[in-house]
Amino acid sequence: MKELLKRFSLLSAIFCLLVACNFEEKDIRIVEDFNFDWRFKLGENPGASKLAFQDSDWQKLNLPHDWSIEGAFSEEHPTRPEGGALPAGIGWYRKTFTISEDWVDKSVSIEFGGVYRNSEVWINGRYLGKRPNGYISLAYDLTDHLNYGEQENVIAVKVNNSEQPNSRWYTGSGIYRNVRLVASEKLHVAHWGTYVKTPKVSEDKALVSYEVTVQNNSRLIKKFKLETKIYDAKGREVGKATTLEKLYPKKTLTKLSDIEISNPKLWSLEDPYMYRIVTRIYEDSELVDNYTTTTGIRYFNFDVEKGFSLNGKPTKILGVCLHHDNGALGAVANKYAIERKLNILKEMGVNAIRTAHNPPSTELLELCDQMGFLVQDEAFDVWKKKKVAYDYSQDWDKWHKKDLEDLIKRDRNHPSVIMWSIGNEIREQYDKSGTAITKELVDIVKGLDANRPVTCALNEIDPDKNFIYKSGQLDVLGFNYKHQVYQDFPENFKGEKIIASESMSALATRGHYTMPSDSIHRWPEANKEAFGNEDFTVSAFDQVSTPWGSTHEETWKMIKKLDFVAGLFVWTGFDYLGEPTPYGYPARSSYFGIVDLAGFPKDAYYMYQSEWTNKPVLHVFPHWNWEEGQEVDVWAYYNNADEVELFLNGESLGAKSKQDDDLHLCWQVTFQPGTLKAVSRKNGKVVLEKEIHTAGETSKIELIPHKESIKRDHYDLVYVTVNMLDAEGNFVPKADNLIHFEVEGGGKIVGVDNGYQANLTSFKAKEIKAFNGKCVVIIQSNGKDDDIKLNVSTDDGAIKASLEIDTVKD
Ligand code: GAL
Residues 166 and 202 in one domain: no
Domain boundary among 184, 211, 236: 184
Residues 687 and 720 in one domain: no
Residues 195 and 52 in one domain: no
Taking residues 86-98, what's their average pLDDT? 98
Q: Tell me the pLDDT tens digit for each residue of 370-417.
A: 999 999 999 999 999 999 999 999 999 999 999 999 999 999 999 999
Q: Total domain count for the chain?
A: 5
Ligand 1: atom nearest CA of 549 is 12
The pLDDT of residue 629 is above 60: yes
Element (H, E) at 205: strand 205-216
Domain boundary among 673, 693, 713: 693
Whole-angstrom CA distances from 199 to 232, 394, 606, 685 are 18, 39, 39, 49
Residues 137 and 175 in one domain: yes
Residues 179 and 192 in one domain: no
Active site residue 708: no
Residues 6+ apart with CB under 8 A from 462: 492
The confidence score (pLDDT) of residue 716 equals 98
Q: Tell me the pLDDT tens digit for each residue of 513-566.
A: 999 998 898 887 655 555 547 899 999 999 999 999 999 999 999 999 999 999
CA dihedral 293, 381, 316, 232 (to 10 degrees): 0
For ligand 1, say whether the CB of 111 is within 6 Å of any of its atoms: no
Domain boundary among 693, 709, 739: 693
Q: What range does the domain containing 157 cover? A: 30-184
The confidence score (pLDDT) of residue 525 equals 61
The pLDDT of residue 459 is above 80: yes
CA 70 to chain centre: 21
Taking residues 130-135, what's their average pLDDT? 98
**How many of the other CB atoms lie within 10 Å of CB of 521?**
20
The confidence score (pLDDT) of residue 530 equals 52
Q: pLDDT band at residue 26, thresholds of 50, 70 and 90?
A: confident
Residues 280 and 335 in one domain: no
In 615-771, where do the E strands start and end? Answer: 618-621, 631-638, 643-648, 651-656, 665-670, 675-682, 685-693, 700-705, 709-711, 717-725, 738-745, 747-753, 767-769
Q: Tell me the pLDDT tens digit for each residue of 147-199.
A: 999 999 999 999 999 999 999 999 999 999 999 999 999 999 999 999 999 99
Residues 382 and 271 in one domain: no
For ligand 1, say whether the CB of 480 is within 6 Å of any of its atoms: yes
For ligand 1, say whether the CB of 35 is within 6 Å of any of its atoms: no
Domain assignment present for 360 = yes
Please report, for the domain that includes residue 716, its CATH number: 2.60.40.10
Lowest mean pLDDT among 17-31, 38-52, 426-440, 708-722: 17-31
The confidence score (pLDDT) of residue 11 equals 46
Whole-angstrom CA distances from 431 to 271, 427, 469 are 44, 8, 11
Active site residue 227: no
For ligand 1, say whether the CB of 425 is within 6 Å of any of its atoms: yes
SS3 label, residue 191:
strand
CB 554 within 8 A of CB 575: no
Q: pLDDT band at residue 586, thresholds of 50, 70 and 90?
A: very high
Annotated active-site residue in 111, 120, 425, 553: 425
Distance 631 CA to ligand 1 centre (A): 35
Ligand 1: atom nearest CA of 457 is 8
**How many of the other CB atoms lie within 10 Å of CB of 662?**
12
Distance 546 CA to ligand 1 centre (A): 10
**Amino acid residing at 57:** D
Ligand 1: atom nearest CA of 424 is 8
Dist. CA 718–CA 710, nearest whole Å: 7
Domain assignment present for 649 = yes
The confidence score (pLDDT) of residue 810 equals 84
The confidence score (pLDDT) of residue 16 equals 42
Q: Tell me the pLDDT tens digit for each residue of 692-739.
A: 999 999 999 999 999 999 999 999 999 999 999 999 999 999 999 999
Residues 802 and 709 in one domain: yes
Residues 650 and 704 in one domain: no
Q: pLDDT band at residue 24, thresholds of 50, 70 and 90?
A: low
Please report, for the domain that includes residue 561, its CATH number: 3.20.20.80
**Amino acid residing at 353:** I
CA atoms within 13 A on the CB side of 219: 1
The confidence score (pLDDT) of residue 12 equals 47
Domain assignment present for 515 = no
Please report, for the domain that includes residue 126, its CATH number: 2.60.120.260
Domain assignment present for 174 = yes
Residues 109 and 223 in one domain: no
Taking residues 330-342, what's their average pLDDT? 98
**Amino acid residing at 309:** S
For ligand 1, say whether the CB of 295 is within 6 Å of any of its atoms: no
Residues 718 and 750 in one domain: yes
Domain assignment present for 749 = yes
Q: pLDDT band at residue 21, thresholds of 50, 70 and 90?
A: very low
Distance 685 CA to ligand 1 centre (A): 44
Domain assignment present for 723 = yes
Domain assignment present for 301 = no
For ligand 1, say whether the CB of 502 is within 6 Å of any of its atoms: yes
The confidence score (pLDDT) of residue 22 equals 44
Taking residues 618-631, what's their average pLDDT? 98
- 3-state secondary structure string across 566-613: EEEEEECCECCECCCCCCCCCCCECCCCCECCCCCECCHHHHHHHHHC
Domain assignment present for 218 = yes
Q: Hey, whose CA ends up nearest to atom 5 of ligand 1? A: 505
Residues 206 and 344 in one domain: no
Q: Tell me which of 392, 505, 555 to substitute to probe ligand 1's pocket, judged by most ligand atoms within 8 Å of the beta carbon.
A: 505
Q: Tell me which of 571, 572, 576 to substitute to probe ligand 1's pocket, judged by most ligand atoms within 8 Å of the beta carbon.
A: 571
Ligand 1: atom nearest CA of 425 is 8
pLDDT above 90 covers what percent of the chain?
94
